[in-house]
Amino acid sequence: MELDQILFKKILGFYDKWKLSNGKEETALAVRLEAISPRLTLLARALTGRNVDILPAEKEGGWKDDAFYLPISFSKLPSPEQNLYFYLYRVVYLSIQSREQLNWNNKMEAQSLEIAQQKAAAAAPIILGFMQEEFPSVARFFYEVKPHFEAQYGDPKSRPETFWLYGKYMVNEGVTGPPVTANPNGEAEGTNPHSPTTEIASKPVEEVEVIAVDKKAQDDYMLTHNFEKVETAEEFSGIWRGFDGDDELAEHAEALNELNLKHLVRTDEQAHSVYRAEFRGSVKIAESEDADNGTTCVTYPEWDLSQKRYKHDYCKVFLSKIKGGDLTYAQKCLSENKKTLDGLRRKFAQIHQQRRMVRRMPDGENIDMDALVDWFADLRSGHTPSENIYNSTRKKDPNIALLFLLDLSLSTDSYADGNRVLDVEKQAVILFGEALNEYGVDFAVGGFCSQTRNRCTFHTLKDFGEGWIKGKQRLGSVEPQGYTRIGPALRHSKALIEAHPASQKWVVLLSDGKPNDYDRYEGQYGIADVRQALRELHERHISTYAVAVESVARYYLPQMFGQNHYNILSPRPVGAGAGAVVPTDKRAMKMEQVDHKNFFYPPGGILIWIIILVELVTFTAGIGAFVWQRSLNPGLFAAAQQNLSTSTGLVNTLVLLTSGFFMAEAVRLLKLGKATDSHRRMIAALVFGLAFLAIKGTEYAGKLSNGFDLGYNSFFTFYWLLTGFHFVHVVVGCVILADVETGASFWHLCDLIWLLLFPVLYLMK
């Protein structure tokens, strides 16, 4: 901040402290909503029979949908007990108001704050009449405190503050469910993945409207103040302004409390800080207008989790066929992953060579007894018998149809182990498509993305019966766009594959596994819709399978697809062929099959090897200092060394090396796919590691009991520093063993360091 800003902030701070000291008496009377909100929530739900939430109000508050807005604190009455009873009165008052539906029902009726207060005051006699009949004690409280609010505060010209008793009219929008956090850097796709460094809660927000920014105005924006540095935050007036991206939220938190947060503008700019506001949003928040670009549109229902029913014709899916493209991308993929493609071909060849028994054939290896009985029956009844009385073993026809459904949303523009997720999806489909095409299996490829329910797009990359060359061309040209509304894409896939004559039908989804769209298609709502769409496919005897490339998918896919109907892939790092992907082992431990010859991805990852290098340098320096000090005081070091047990050190060496052997075996077995055996070896390594710690701990206890502590002499100073630091490393190694390759790399570091320490400390003369 500039000097003038700092001075102004200091003066404002002194003023706030003075104002706080003058209001101490009022603070002592105050009752805070936060402290009594749980009890008020129980009361409100008991009175209304609905899941009503108690939320903080900007001032007097009111009733809106399934939320009662109450003052964040209250101290207007002369005693804390009366201020507490005020909240109880307001809950009863709002429960009657909501029952009688005394509120605005649409935004067209809504007017200014003053009129909202007047409307609430005009409705008060109706509400108080019911209160007098049903809750007479609460009504008595109203008549007792009303004169207090009718008295004039301070300035004789000020109007009575009875609005505290009546609240204000608000607009019902038909929204139920938990409050929404207005966080422009939240989990929505398409935003910058960097996390905010500062987060501050805002003042209460009752009503929010999301304003669509004119894209042209954003693109045409130019700096309007260029004469001096201006730091401003202002209410949206329809004029686009740029974002500087600086994190100065904490410095301006007080000034931000003066802003009206009713109107919000969404931006995909990186957020360094978050000014968090909780509010009851509208179901139409940020909803796109209907697309009208001349393409074919079909509508599909969506499952409403809260109502347990369909929203019919709710989602609009626009059909698109990618044009153009070239074969360069596909040719490069096939060239770089030739080994993987050959493996797929061998698998398909094995399946293709499988044979099945075909009955009632004109010739074959065996007599079909059922056909023979029918032959005699026809002959005896005077009919001409069929000559098809043989069984024959023949190759299976590929009576199967597959539809690959690719997630084309912006979330697939992220990277996993140096590979873009969308590229892994595309290359996996190209490799499978090449093998399927060679063996005559009919398949289709589609891609999907969305921008709210009104703009779901289904891109046909290859249709059933269409040539594979065109499919490869189109696959190479698709790029990430939009969000991940999976339900409509699955329902359209069902419509496409259902008409296929094949007896076996499969829809294979390739995605990051997380349903997400701009208009609240996320969380349990999105998961429930996907699960319902999958049920619809299964009812039509269409099998489904999901393949995900992101590790976060393990939290979503089981809820949607169930066990054994999905897999999570770990792509090889850059340089190893992005299409060569392998499934992660979900039973015990995860180890990605990476190319360890690649310098930039050694076993366990480059980070652990940087740590290993630093630790080796540190220990080497420590051992070097020990040797140098020994050369200066050979007699002292030789005498002190006699207090160490060589046999104990040797036993510990054998124990630690045995542990390292079991760890190496665990890695080897896991690479062979023997996860259970690998897990057992890892447990053995852990047991020997703990044995090393136990032996070393016993040795330490003996040294301390004999007075050989860190300050005894130079030898024991080095002894405690070097072996103690190594002891800590072994403890860390025991903790990280579950990640097999990373743990193994670190464990062998511990072995190597001990092989250096043992001869230097215990044996060197």
Which of 49-63, 270-284, 573-587 bottoms out in mean pLDDT, i.e. has the lowest? Answer: 573-587
- CA gap 460, 458 in Å, rounded: 6
Q: pLDDT value at position 362? A: 78
Mean pLDDT over 32-59 rounds to 86
Model confidence over 166-208: pLDDT tens digits?
Answer: 888 888 766 544 444 444 333 444 444 444 555 555 566 556 5
Residue whose C-alpha is closest to residue 305's, from 587, 559, 5: 559
* Three-class DSSP category at 568: strand
Order of all β-strands in the sheet with 273-279: 180-182, 273-279, 198-201
Rg (CA), the chain: 36
| Residue 387 neighbours by CB distance under 10 Å | 12
Model confidence over 596-654: pLDDT tens digits?
Answer: 344 444 566 667 788 888 888 888 898 898 889 888 888 888 888 888 888 888 998 99
Question: Does the CA dihedral 353-359-363-367 come out positive or negative?
Answer: positive
Any idea what the Cα angle at residue 748 is, between residues 745 and 753, rounded to 5°? 130
Name the residue with higher pLDDT: 281 or 491.
Answer: 491
Mean pLDDT over 577-590 rounds to 39
Mean pLDDT over 99-114 rounds to 78
Q: pLDDT value at position 294? A: 54
Model confidence over 118-161: pLDDT tens digits?
Answer: 888 888 999 999 998 899 999 899 888 888 887 754 444 555 67
Helix axes of 468-475 and 421-438: crossing angle, nearest 10 degrees = 170
Q: What mean pLDDT, rounded, does the chain reach?
A: 77
- Percentage of the chain with pLDDT > 90? 17
Name the residue with higher pLDDT: 650 or 163.
Answer: 650
Q: Which amino acid is at 437?
A: N
Q: Which amino acid is at 579?
A: G
User: Token pair for residue 191?
Assistant: 């935003």
Looking at residue 412, what DSSP letter applies? G
- CA gap 375, 574 in Å, rounded: 66
Model confidence over 717-736: pLDDT tens digits?
Answer: 988 999 998 899 899 888 88
Residue position matching structure tokens 């909501």:
98
| Residue 618 neighbours by CB distance under 10 Å | 12
Q: Containing H/E element for 469?
A: helix 468-475
- For the entire predicted model, the pTM comes to 0.43
Give Cβ neighbours of residue 261 (< 8 Å, ≥ 6 apart): 182, 202, 203, 205, 208, 277
User: Given a cut of 90, is residue 315 above it in pLDDT?
Assistant: yes
User: Given a cut of 90, is residue 110 above it in pLDDT?
Assistant: no
User: Token pair for residue 398?
Assistant: 């590929």
Burial (CB count within 10 angstroms: exposed 0-12, middle 13-18, buried 19+), residue 270:
middle
Model confidence over 48-96: pLDDT tens digits?
Answer: 888 888 888 878 888 888 888 889 888 888 888 888 889 999 999 999 9
Give Cβ neighbours of residue 478 (< 8 Å, ≥ 6 apart): 322, 406, 408, 422, 426, 447, 459, 461
Q: pLDDT value at position 496? A: 94
Mean pLDDT over 345-363 rounds to 72
Task: Check residue 270 and give left, alpha or beta (phi > 0: left; psi -120 to 50: alpha).
Answer: beta
- CA gap 295, 299 in Å, rounded: 13
